[in-house]
Structure 1
Amino acid sequence: MGRAEVRKAQQRGARRAPSGRAKGAKGSGGTGKRTGIRRFFTWKKILGTFFALALLGMGVLVGLYFYVDEPDPNKQALQQSNVYKYADGTIMATKGKVNREILPIDKIPMDVQEAFIAIENKSFRSDGGVDFKGLARGLWNTATGRGKAGGSTITQQYVKNYYLTQEQTPTRKLKELVISLKVDQRMKKPEILAGYLNTSYFGRGAYGIQAAAQAYYGVDAEKLTLEQGAYLATLVQAPSQYDWSTASDDTKKRIKIRYDATLVNMVDMKKLDETKRQGMKFAEPMQPQPPAGMDGQKGYLVQAAEAELNAQGVEKKLIDAGGWTFTLNIDPKKQEALETAVQEELESKLDRKDTKERPQDQSVQAGATSVDPKTGHIVAMYGGTGLKDHWSSNALRKDYQPGSTFKPIVLASALENASKTQDGKPITPNALYDGTSKRPVVGSDIPFAPQNQENRNFGDPMMTVQDATNSSVNSVYAQMIVDVEPPNVKKTALQIGMKDREGWPADKPAMALGTMSANTVEMAAVYATLDNHGKKVTPTIIKKAEHKDREVEPAQPVGTQAISRRTADTVTKVLTGVVNDDGASGNKVRSSAYEAAGKTGTTENNFSGWFAGYTPELVTVVAIFGEEPGTAKQVTLTGTAGLGRLGGSSFPATIWKAYTTAALKGGNAGKFQLSEADMGAVQTPSRSASPSATPSQSSSPPAATNSPTQSPTTSPTPTATKTGPTPSGTTSPTATATKTNGPKPPDPPVLGEHPGN
């Protein structure tokens, strides 16, 4: 027997019933008949059922074809205006005139037409309006978890835009299929393509390719280059997400991938020469231009309102279609107070025209969010100098780190989890930690030895958590997060208002220094939750969103208990020390006009500075960012306004104080009710071999040569016996170790804190 015959014999044997299951074999019952459920599910029955269902579906489709008529164009195509009101009912702005100009197909360059066909529907010129193979593939991908159902042709998208709505329901999808078949029979392909290009939404309020060409490149559609057209074809799938001016670095990579796919498909379709494709460069669109009436902060407030409604599940396209009346939670008096504070405390001190002597002044961006902690309403917001100068709101941006404004979350998590130090003592505001700069953390699989500001040591070497918070000591909080465990801290952060994002270093002790990304709204949520005695606050800018064709349930800004009242009130009491204690990093905002708590924050390389503070009535987070003009590149703030290094205790703190003083003027400046705050027992330094009490002497200079953090305008750092006013008229916890101060280097001037502080 040859090899071929051997293989055939083996294959025949492999197809036989396994041993013990052949006809008449033991255990088979000796009958060879299928038993149980196998009698009902055979391949013949399964295939028969499948084809029967397929025939039934075809029958239903045929019936619908004769039953469903082409409807009139939908009213959504007739765009209306949106009206935006302040909380008191006065009109803030009106937005939305029809931004559409219908073009005949011969006014759109042929290679631009082909770009849309290449990425959206390669079979457009030959299909019958519906690509059943693509539709089946999309449904299969959805069923197998490989992505959402796709397969919509250009004809289907035109039908959806022109005749139907954007709702995702089986009924609407069936109508779309049937009407697409009819439209394809009635209309020529160039007419369908023109209809698709004239009705598609491209973002920036632009409906149709003519409006898109003007919005993104400042030209008429007939003058679009292939590179520009390829970007618009890329954009149409996700207009808000794929707008180059606001896209993150990761999203820009996805835009480039889809852009390249458009051109590669054109080569495959013989509509573009490969050599020409290789020489083409991506055409970056211009920055968005604000619509009329969106000057000052109005445009940013509209952005925030629409983003919030979008997050509630209302598509951006439906919002831009108009017909909405938005009543915002913005208090016009507080809004004016915030704008004035930024102008007087920051903008008036910058020289944005002198690019030679004051180059850093061109890079400064400011953002702020102010919230009523009892209602969760955003009562004021600052997004930047105006949409014409900076399109995206600085209050909403998520590309900067919050620095040491994150440290109170570490403390809250320690209290909530009843965590202990390395020597087994409870972590409380009176707990002791080693304040030596560059001290390696103990108990972490990931090495970390952060430097305090100017490499200064704090304590002798031990200090209380209260004092470490006042001076924002990195080495203390780096060890504390190890003691609490970083995943527990992240859990607490998400519970009280932060958002989970890609790149969050959930297992690293560096998280204690605020190395994740966040925006001012998120940090306002965190501090409002603390202010609200631990009840979850989700800041909202929309009071009401009304539309005659749909209903939107208002968001519930105040939720259930996120952390215990004892934890929240204890953290608040500690943060009053940051404001009230002499020499503390937030001392600059202290005032007899109100009782306040807060925390400063400065990020690595001095890219941003933050101040998050609150009174019983008002929570406000102010941040400044260093951003290279015309790009999203982060740059240092050092040198701004002709000064040195800037931190949270500089411009953010002064803006916060000016705004809060004005916003509360004439109001009832209440007192914190902190009856459940628990500062813990005063601890005595342990001189055992305990890791938390033993500094790494080889990694930092002696304590006698350094001094604690302070701004040039603050009082000298207190000794261990200092006291300071706290809520309810009590004193701050007494430190058990003496701080030894050394001379402060005069150059460069320090106006904030070290990275992470």
Structure 2
Amino acid sequence: MGRAEERRARQRGGHRAAPKRRRSEPAAAGKPPKSLLRRMFTWKKILGTVFGVCLLAILGFVGLYLYVDIPEGNAAARQQSNVYKFSDGTLLARSGKVNREIVDLSKVPRKVQLTFVAAENKSFYSDSGVDFKGTARGLLNTLRGRGKQGGSTITQQYVKNYYLNQDQTVTRKLKELVISLKVDREKSKDDILAGYINTSYYGRNAYGIQAAAQAYFGIDAEDLSVEQGAYLAALLQAPSQYDWAVATDTGKRLVTERWNYVLDNMVEEGWLTKAQRTAMHFPEIKEPKRAPGLDGQKGYLVELANQQLEQQLMAQEGLTQSQAENAVEGKGWTITLNIDRKKQAALEKAVRSELTSKLDKTKRKVDGDIQPGAVSVDPETGKIVALYGGQNYYEHWTSNATRRDYQPASTFKPVILAAALEREATTQAGKPITANTVYDGDNRRPVLDHGRPVGFAPPNEDEQDYGKITVQEAMNKSVNSVFAQMGVDVGMDDVMSTASSLGMDTKGMPAVPAQTLGSMGASPLEMAGIYATFANHGHKVTPTIIKSAENQGRTVDMPDPVGGTVLSRTAADTVTSVLTGVVDDGTAKVSVADNPLRDGQQVAGKTGTSDENRSAWFTGYTPDLVTSVGLFGEDPKTHGHVSMEGATGLLPGRGRINGGGYPAQIWAAYTFGVTDRSAFELDTTQGAAVAPPPPPSSSAPPTPSTTPSQTPSQTPSETPSHTPSQTPSETPSRTPSHTPSQTPSQTPTTGLPTEPTTEEPPDPDDDGHFGHLGQ
């Protein structure tokens, strides 16, 4: 039925339906059928799909936003180097796996801050922390395998550096987007900028702006100029390529263009005037240097600084040892030491010139066993101004300045005298113990406790008898038998208590007479502190190496190195006075008193040489400087204690390394080159430094030098032969203090102690060996 017939049928009200067209019938001419593709992708379906995808994306992003939290900063981004400085602020060393020192933004000049904004993200202060267009471009390029393309904000770069990593994945980029939005909402722009400039890599192994300022300009971040800041900001685009010292001509051209771009942007933003910009010139870049490591003495200085800071954190914050170590190592501390650069250099030079230059382990095996250590302290302030821990930290990790496993030997004798003076102790006969008190100085004299032997009879050096001898002379000649008896007279508990109050670690040490020989362990650091307390008139000195310690704006208050009185001034000054006799008329005479560099400088000190010549000491001081020098015999393989006899080629039989030899020589070469000329101000009437009263008319006029034997406290029978200090140019061995028949035994001999229990070769022998030192 045609269409006309159908129309007529409808008009007649007929109900006959038009027959259906068979599927095989062709469509009416001029109306082709719709393709499957057109039927599937109608505009309605496309709009609906786009809308659905957008909705899913929004919902997905909302879910991601809710799901992703701001994480902890990654471990690498938190790692920092500790920076150590000399007392004058110059760089000493930097330690840590990462060369980074985080600085507060307030320490970076404002216009230097703006150079980074101008270089990377001019809209930083007004944007939401995200560049959606740049991020979308980066996502698309990542999906297409084109690597890193597309810009990002400072916030996004900070998030990537600090919270994430440098991986180029869709997941990481999505996380970066979400975390950046959250960080921008939760942190201030200053915090974000500070994080960015402190975590970015600038080349030359420098992470963060402080390390970069040091690496490229040799200055701190707070001293950067705008031109220098613009260079560092330009570097971030290609640190290695833009490093002026190694850049190609192309690299130099590109970094110059980038530098100009940064400054021009600052003018455009109103952060610089055109006149200021015109006046700026490309900065001078320093040649790269190897980061200051821990070689030489640096490691020993850093190690002690870390230990003292850890101890303070434990005391101040209640941390455990492990927690304190974790809080210090590689945590970005800036630690300024009390170490004086000039004194440190002088101490190192003295050790080298007086000892290590003479050691040759290829010729003499024993030379490889010699380990020197020294600590120098300002007694008025308690500051450690110089320290020698060993020939090289990388070759000998144990610091000889702080090790406590060697005997201090006769350098302990002044502690016994201090205990006697402080407690107003008396002899067995009830006489006060003073510098002028007479003791029996015979060899192996049994020590008595109110008439009862205590089972201890120490030998003197070379089995020498001294007969009746004053405490002053006994200190000069380091007579063991006298100080062993004095220790029992005072009471060994009181002696060890005095040692503890002066700064010696006596925990676990038995209070027995053998300790009078200095048979306990002690370090040069401890001995320097004890003698500094003598020098500071009895005020306790606890030597400290740290001047200040800061960490990200936080400062740790270090305790005052000088404490209260632990020894009366009279007692301390008397010890000092007595110890001037050791230098002028005793075992340190040749190396110190007669040293041409002395130039009249007043000196107090004590030598010490331990059993079997395993250690040798000289601890001495002027009014402004206390220095303890120790030499230790250590087997380099087993680290056991060994004899130093024969080191540097000393002749067989005369080869002991004595306290009056190399230790005293090192002390003199160092001290006389750096000390200020001054005299002791002593509140005492005793000791070698005190002018004697007028002698009886029958006596010969005294020489300018003083001697305990000239004091009225001695009986006539004790005094006639006591004249050692009246002849300062002579050694003690030439001025016997007992009968003529004993004179020959007082000449210096060269044998080792006959008993293995002998504490030291008391130091008359030190002078006898001096003529052969260095041969």
Deviations 1:315-341, CA, capped at 9 Å, x for gaps: 111111321001000000000000000
Deviation, structure 1 residue 392: 1.5
- Indicate the residue corresponding to 1:597 in structure 2: 604
Task: For residue 313 of structure 1, give the secondary structure of its aligned residue in structure 2.
Answer: helix
Distance 1:520 1:384 in 2: 12
Task: For residue 648 of structure 2, give the secondary structure of its aligned residue in structure 1.
Answer: helix
Query: Of the two, which has the highest radius of gyration?
Result: 2
- Indicate the residue corresponding to 1:73 in structure 2: 72
Match of 1:656 among 667, 677, 681: 667
2:75 counterpart of 1:83: no
- Indicate the residue corresponding to 2:471 in structure 1: 465
Match of 1:721 among 715, 723, 729: 723
Distance 2:462 2:291 in 1: 47
1:367-446 maps to which residues of 2 (within 5 A)? 367-443=373-449, 446=454
1:250-261 maps to which residues of 2 (within 5 A)? none
Deviation, structure 1 residue 291: 10
Deviation, structure 1 residue 353: 2.3
Distance 1:366 1:427 in 2: 36
Change (3 A) 1:676 1:639: same
Distance 2:588 2:292 in 1: 43
- Indicate the residue corresponding to 1:496 in structure 2: 502
Amino acid at match of 2:572: A
Amino acid at match of 2:383: H
Change (3 A) 1:677 1:537: farther
Deviations 1:636-682, CA, capped at 9 Å, x for gaps: 01111121111111110000000001112xxx311000133445964
Match of 2:351 among 332, 337, 342: 342
Structure 2: tracts of 5 or more residues without a match: 1-67, 100-161, 164-289, 315-323, 688-707, 729-734, 764-775
Change (3 A) 1:346 1:547: same
Does the 8 Å contact 2:95/2:330 carry over to 1? no
Does the 8 Å contact 1:514/1:756 carry over to 2? no
Deviation, structure 1 residue 79: 1.0
Does the 8 Å contact 1:580/1:725 carry over to 2? no
Match of 2:577 among 552, 573, 577: 573
- Indicate the residue corresponding to 1:514 in structure 2: 518
Task: For residue 555 of structure 2, give the secondary structure of its aligned residue in structure 1.
Answer: coil
Distance 1:436 1:291 in 2: 60
Deviations 1:507-548, CA, capped at 9 Å, x for gaps: x11111111111111100100000001111110000000101
- Indicate the residue corresponding to 1:627 in structure 2: 634
Does the 8 Å contact 1:472/1:585 carry over to 2? no
Does the 8 Å contact 2:411/2:608 carry over to 1? yes
Deviation, structure 1 residue 755: 4.3
TM-score by length of 2: 0.55
Does the 8 Å contact 2:477/2:762 carry over to 1? no
Deviations 1:63-90, CA, capped at 9 Å, x for gaps: xxxxxx9983357762101111001111
Deviation, structure 1 residue 387: 1.6
Distance 2:726 2:510 in 1: 36
Task: For residue 625 of structure 1, give the secondary structure of its aligned residue in structure 2.
Answer: strand
Deviations 1:86-109, CA, capped at 9 Å, x for gaps: 01111111111249xxxxxxxxxx
- Indicate the residue corresponding to 1:505 in structure 2: 510
1:10-89 maps to which residues of 2 (within 5 A)? 72-73=71-72, 78-89=78-89
Distance 2:406 2:434 in 1: 30
Does the 8 Å contact 1:569/1:677 carry over to 2? no
Deviation, structure 1 residue 294: 1.1
Aligned residues: 454
Deviation, structure 1 residue 500: 2.4
Change (3 A) 1:391 1:611: same
Q: Percent identity among equivalent residues?
A: 49
2:747 counterpart of 1:741: no
Change (3 A) 1:450 1:753: closer
1:281-292 maps to which residues of 2 (within 5 A)? none
Match of 1:320 among 329, 338, 350: 329
Task: For residue 741 of structure 1, give the secondary structure of its aligned residue in structure 2.
Answer: helix
Amino acid at match of 2:502: I
2:591 counterpart of 1:588: yes
Does the 8 Å contact 2:79/2:330 carry over to 1? yes
Amino acid at match of 2:334: T
Change (3 A) 1:671 1:724: farther
Amino acid at match of 2:510: P
Amino acid at match of 2:524: T
Task: For residue 556 of structure 2, give the secondary structure of its aligned residue in structure 1.
Answer: coil
Deviation, structure 1 residue 550: 4.1
Change (3 A) 1:482 1:75: farther
Distance 2:609 2:302 in 1: 29
- Indicate the residue corresponding to 1:616 in structure 2: 623
Structure 1: tracts of 5 or more residues without a match: 1-68, 100-161, 164-289, 688-692, 694-717, 727-733
Deviation, structure 1 residue 352: 2.1
Change (3 A) 1:307 1:296: same
Change (3 A) 1:532 1:70: farther
Amino acid at match of 2:661: S
Deviation, structure 1 residue 293: 1.3
Distance 2:518 2:750 in 1: 27
Task: For residue 743 of structure 2, give the secondary structure of its aligned residue in structure 1.
Answer: coil
- Indicate the residue corresponding to 1:295 in structure 2: 295
Task: For residue 549 of structure 2, give the secondary structure of its aligned residue in structure 1.
Answer: strand
Deviations 1:229-266, CA, capped at 9 Å, x for gaps: xxxxxxxxxxxxxxxxxxxxxxxxxxxxxxxxxxxxxx
Task: For residue 88 of structure 1, give the secondary structure of its aligned residue in structure 2.
Answer: coil
Match of 1:449 among 434, 448, 457: 457
Change (3 A) 1:437 1:746: closer
Change (3 A) 1:70 1:494: farther
Does the 8 Å contact 1:403/1:756 carry over to 2? no
Change (3 A) 1:719 1:388: farther
2:613 counterpart of 1:606: yes
Q: CA RMSD in A?
A: 3.1
- Indicate the residue corresponding to 2:696 in structure 1: none
Distance 1:527 1:418 in 2: 20
Distance 1:633 1:753 in 2: 18
Amino acid at match of 2:459: Q
Distance 1:722 1:510 in 2: 28
Distance 2:686 2:497 in 1: 22
- Indicate the residue corresponding to 2:304 in structure 1: 304
Distance 1:505 1:304 in 2: 28
Distance 1:685 1:405 in 2: 29
Distance 2:291 2:504 in 1: 32
Distance 2:677 2:351 in 1: 22
